[in-house]
Amino acid sequence: AQSVTQPDIHITVSEGASLELRCNYSYGATPYLFWYVQSPGQGLQLLLKYFSGDTLVQGIKGFEAEFKRSQSSFNLRKPSVHWSDAAEYFCAVENDYKLSFGAGTTVTVRA
Amino acid sequence: DVKVTQSSRYLVKRTGEKVFLECVQDMDHENMFWYRQDPGLGLRLIYFSYDVKMKEKGDIPEGYSVSREKKERFSLILESASTNQTSMYLCASGKRGENTGELFFGEGSRLTVL
C-alpha cells in the first residue's frame, strides 16, 4: 500500500511570511493525494487534492500544492501566512478507497 | 451545511468498561470511517463501512468493533476499554465513487481510560 511521510513535525513561521510543508509519497502508480488541515479543537478539513492532470493544484484558504513525480513529493505552499493558519496539517494518499495519513506537521504563526 | 456529528466530545471511562462512540452524518454518504489520532502518529484507520451492515477492518482493529444499522449512523465500540485506548477518535464520511478521498470529519471524541 502507498504511504506518505511528512518530514517536519513542527514549523514556526512569521505572519506574512511564506510557508511550505513537505510531503513525500511511496512509490506506486499515480497516487491520489490530499492535504487536510485541523484547526485547534476541530475536525479535519480538506484543503486540496490531486488526482491527475495539472501538477499545480489550488485549494481553499489561499493554499496550493505541487505534485512532482521525479521527487515523489506533494508539497503544500502559501505565499503569505495569516495568524489563522496556525493548525496541524496532514498529507494523505488514497489506498483502495481509503485514506492513509502522514504524521502531521504543526504550524505555529508568530506575530 | 454538511455535518458529521460525534455524540460525545469528551469521555472518561474506567479500565474494563464498555464504551460506545456514536457518529451521525446528514449527507447521505455511503462510506463511513473511524480513525484514531495520536501525537506523532497521525490518523490511523480502525474500521470503515461502505454500506449498511457492512464493515471492514482497517489498520488497527484490535480491541474495537463497529456497527452500522442505518446509513447515517456508524458506531465504534470498545468492548473492554484499556488505558492504551486513551486517544482522540475521529469519525468521517464520504461519497462512494470518484471522490472517495474527500472526507468530511466530525470534531472528534477525546477518550480517557483510567
CA distance B50 to A43: 21
- pLDDT at residue number A96: 79
Chain B positions touching A48 (Cβ under 8 A) are none
B79 Cβ under 8 Å from any chain A Cβ: no
B103 Cβ under 8 Å from any chain A Cβ: yes
Weakest-pLDDT range from A44-48, A85-89, B94-98: B94-98
Mean pLDDT for the stretch of residues A64-80: 95
Which of B42, B101, B102 lies nearest to residue A90, judging by beta carbons? B42
pLDDT under 50 in chain B at which residues? none
Q: Which residues contact B26 (CB under 8 A, 6 or more apart)?
A: B2, B3, B5, B72
Mean pLDDT for the stretch of residues A80-105: 93
Which of A43, A46, A98 lies nearest to residue B106, judging by beta carbons? A43
Closest-CA distance of chain A to residue B5, Å: 10
User: Mutate which of B30, B34, B37 to test chain A, going by most A C-beta atoms within 10 A?
Assistant: B37
- Cα-based angle B56, B88, A50 (whole degrees, multiple of 5): 65
Instruction: Convert the pLDDT of each residue in A24-36 to its tens digit.
Output: 998 677 789 999 9
- Cα-based angle A85, A91, A97 (whole degrees, multiple of 5): 130
Chain A positions touching B102 (Cβ under 8 A) are 34, 46, 49
B47 Cβ under 8 Å from any chain A Cβ: no
- pLDDT at residue number A23: 97
Mean pLDDT for the stretch of residues A76-86: 97
Nearest CA-CA partner of A81 in A110, A45, A43: A110
Q: Strands, E, within chain A: which ranges?
A: 4-5, 10-14, 19-21, 24-25, 33-38, 44-50, 56-58, 64-68, 73-78, 87-95, 98-101, 105-110
- Whether A1 has a pLDDT exceeding 90, the answer reads no
* Residue for grid cell 506574512: A16
- pLDDT at residue number A51: 86
